[in-house]
Amino acid sequence: MATAGLTGLAPFRNEPYRDFHQGENRRAMEEALARARAELGREYDLLIAGRALKGDGTFASFNPSKPSEIVGVHQRGSVEQAREAVESAHAYFGEWSRTPASIRIDMLRNAAALLRSRKSEFNAWMILEAGKNWVEAEADTSEAIDFCEYYARQMTRFAHPEPLLQLPGETDELVYLPLGVGVIIPPWNFPLAILAGMTTAALAAGNTVIIKPSSDTPTIGAKFAQLLVEAGFPAHSIAFFTGSGATVGDALVSHPKTRFVSFTGSRDVGLHINELAARPQKGQIWIKRVIAEMGGKDAIIVDSEASLDEAVSGVVASAYGYQGQKCSACSRAIVDESLYDAFLEKLKARVAQLKVGPAEEFGYDMGPVINERARTTILGYIETGKKEGRLIAGGGAAPGEGHFLQPTVIADAGPDARIFQEEIFGPVLTVTKAHGFEHALELANATEYGLTGAVYTANAEKIRLAKERFFVGNLYINRKCTGAMVGAHPFGGFNMSGTDSKAGGPDYLLQYLQAQSIAEKKS
Ligand code: NAD
């Protein structure tokens, strides 16, 4: 997918994925995994104003496929150090904000080039720290490259805004200014792409940032922060800060010099951050901006006029890709009564073919879930689901040392069931019967979330109706509901799924900018 060319840069194109069935690509990944393995257990420091610092003790991140294995050792940054990070980033903001946009854009493109040349390395760290299989890791790194390339082009646009109406005797212009210090809080499930997307958007716009990665995937965050410095971003423009989300997160969000928070994660943490950021602190002279992208309970509607094979393929890919740990994952299939039984039969057969195993070994469809806490929570939902519906496939843990779970299907869950309403964030799919297309749409909309959704039907009128009534930020017709591509599918949800910021879309950078109108009287 290419977009129209912008000043001086070739049109944007998505980074292609490599095929690991080819020997050369396979070898590159095996070598990268071996190199990453040789670095397992290394200690990483906080980075504040260009200084590498120790915290109040350390914590470790683990390989979810092999939890006895430590991936990285990271600092427990203190509340005092969190304050210092915001104050240093604020002190440097004036200088950084005046850097010409063209220089920041060049740095962003350097970052894209470096990531491209080190794709296998970043994939390897995601395989080891986040439990992504090779293909999912490749998609994550490619998306991070896309964000750098795409936001570089979008920043070119905002650096050269459209001319305004010129009043007689005046020169009238609108210029876009950065906001200030931003706290970047990503989740662990796209530990590179989402972290990179939020960070590079903020930096491209001329803000300084504090990156606070998830404590499950801090090593990937540390590697990316280092890459940004190698790409030319001044060390003072980026702080890298690890520690307890709850303790240092609150300190970073509530600091009076924090100007905005860019968060992606769960509904509850997002709402908490939104509330905390709204409370003005002593000495604070602005309303903090909160960009919050949160959870989902995404549905795929399989209509009576759907191609059953395509629908089953789309549901399986959306429900079990990365073990269902995507905000866009299909967790509800809403299937017309006319093909409900046939759908379940085909689904059961397809799910039985999914292979679960260590992410590091090429060829498994599913790896582990992120940690033992997640596995216990998901198993709890499966037990609830067995009471709320009918178990069709899976239903428990899968063998192995890692946090493995069987791909699970629970049929006949009604709209009031917890497994129909609550985000499970694991390989658990609920199937619900719909009595006609309008009923299917009602069911699909019957949650507080509104992130992604898909409809399988051959009927043009039903497609029109879905476009009118299916209330989700990312709607897909006759395709799966995961795998949004930068530039083609700007991403962000409605209702409790977030502020609909549309990452990877033409308006995204506006959230990291403020516009100033200047009218100069001609002498
Ligand atoms: P989470 O909310 O537990 O954590 C997200 C981040 O917030 C982490 O970095 C965590 O350390 C930090 N955090 C926790 N408490 C904090 C506090 N009090 N102050 C500041 N930061 C704090 O989410 P998670 O488990 O990392 O990620 C999974 C969730 O993310 C799911 O709900 C998923 O749907 C959502 N998600 C949404 C999108 C989207 O674009 N809408 C994309 C990916 C993931």
Kindly give the number of the ligand 1 atom that is closest to the alpha carbon of 272.
18
pLDDT at 351: 98
Asked if residue 30 is part of any domain, the answer here is no
- Mutual angle of helices 101-117 and 218-230, in 10-degree steps: 120
Residue type, 50: G
| pLDDT tens, position by position, 198-218 | 999 999 999 999 999 999 999
SS3 of 196, please?
helix
* Residue of minimum CA distance from atom 35 in ligand 1: 265
Domain count, the chain: 2
Q: Give me the DSSP letters along 452-514.
A: EEEEE-S-HHHHHHHHHH---SEEEESS-S----TTTS-B--EETTB----BTSTTGGGGGEE
C-beta of 331 in contact with ligand 1 (< 6 A): no
| 21 found inside a domain | no
Asked whether residue 478 falls in the same domain as residue 451, the answer is: yes
Alpha-carbon distances, residue 347 vs 299, 340, 392 (angstroms): 16, 10, 9
Considering the domain architecture, whether residues 506 and 472 belong to the same structural domain is answered as no
- CATH number of the structural domain spanning residue 418: 3.40.309.10
Cβ(140) to ligand 1 under 6 A? Answer: no
Ligand 1 site-directed mutation target among 74, 247, 297, 327, most atoms within 8 Å of CB: 327
Question: Do 149 and 116 contact (CB within 8 A), yes or no?
Answer: no
CA dist 127 and 186 (Å) reads: 18
Phi and psi at 15, nearest 5°, equal -65, 125
> Ligand 1 center to residue 159 CA distance, Å?
32
Q: Whose CA is nearest to atom 11 of ligand 1?
A: 245
Q: Cβ(187) to ligand 1 under 6 A?
A: yes
Measured by CA distance, the residue closest to atom 40 of ligand 1 is: 293
Measured from the Cα of 498, ligand 1's closest atom is 41
Q: Is the CB of 195 under 6 A from ligand 1?
A: no
Q: Give the catalytic positions in this structure.
A: 293, 327
For ligand 1, is residue 246 a contact (CB within 6 Å)? Answer: yes
Nearest-angstrom CA–CA distance, 177 and 515: 6
Say whether both 341 and 237 belong to one domain. Answer: no
Q: Please list the residues that pair with 455 across neighbouring strands.
A: 301, 477
One domain for residues 286 and 302:
no
Q: Is the pTM of this model over 0.95?
A: yes
Q: Which amino acid is at 464?
A: R
User: What 3-state DSSP class applies to 210?
Assistant: strand
- Which atom from ligand 1 is nearest to the alpha carbon of 185? 9
Report yes or no on 76 lying in a domain: yes
Q: What type of residue sits at position 169?
A: G
Q: Which residues of 280-296 are buried (b: 16+ CB within 10 A; e: fewer)?
A: eeeeeeeebbbbbbbbb
* Ligand 1 atom with the shortest distance to the CA of 295: 34
Same domain membership, residue 379 and residue 234? no
Whether 16 is covered by a domain: the verdict is no
CATH code for position 111: 3.40.605.10
Predicted pLDDT at 5: 39
Contacts of 39 (CB under 8 A, 6+ apart): none
Q: Is the CB of 208 under 6 A from ligand 1?
A: no
Task: Answer whether 294 contacts ligand 1 (Cβ < 6 A).
Answer: yes
Query: Are 58 and 36 contacting, i.e. CB atoms less than 8 angstroms apart?
Result: no
Does residue 383 sit in the same domain as residue 447? yes
Residue 215 neighbours by CB distance under 10 Å: 18
Are 336 and 440 in contact by the 8 Å Cβ rule? The answer is yes
> Do 419 and 334 belong together in one domain?
yes
Q: Select from 203, 230, 229 the least CA-distant residue to 101.
A: 203
Identify whether 15 is part of a domain.
no
Q: Is the CB of 185 under 6 A from ligand 1?
A: yes
Q: Are residues 167 and 122 in the same domain?
A: yes
Going by C-alpha positions, the residue among 213, 441, 481, 205 that lies closest to residue 329 is 481
Residues of the chain with confidence (pLDDT) below 70: 1-7
Q: What's the domain range around 278?
A: 37-294+501-520
Of 215, 239, 240, nearest to 58 by C-alpha is 215
Whose alpha carbon is nearest atom 28 of ligand 1?
Answer: 265
Task: Indicate if 328 and 367 belong to the same structural domain.
Answer: yes
Q: Do 422 and 370 belong together in one domain?
A: yes
**Per-residue confidence (pLDDT) for residue 7, from 0 to 100:** 58
- Quick check: is 2 in a domain? no
Cβ of 314 less than 6 Å from ligand 1? no
Amino acid at 476: Y
* Rama region for 436: left / alpha / beta (φ>0; ψ in -120 to 50; rest): left
> Mutate which of 76, 129, 189 to test ligand 1's pocket (most atoms within 8 Å of Cβ)?
189
Contact 351, 501 (CB under 8 A): no
For atom 22 of ligand 1, which residue has the closest CA? 245
| Pair 473, 508 in one domain | no
Please state the atom number of ligand 1 nearest to the C-alpha of residue 252. 20
- Tell whether 12 is covered by a domain: no
Clarify whether residues 453 and 471 are in a common domain.
Answer: yes
Task: Tell me what pLDDT residue 523 has.
Answer: 87
Which residue, judged by its Cα, is nearest atom 14 of ligand 1?
A: 245
In a domain, 491, yes or no: no
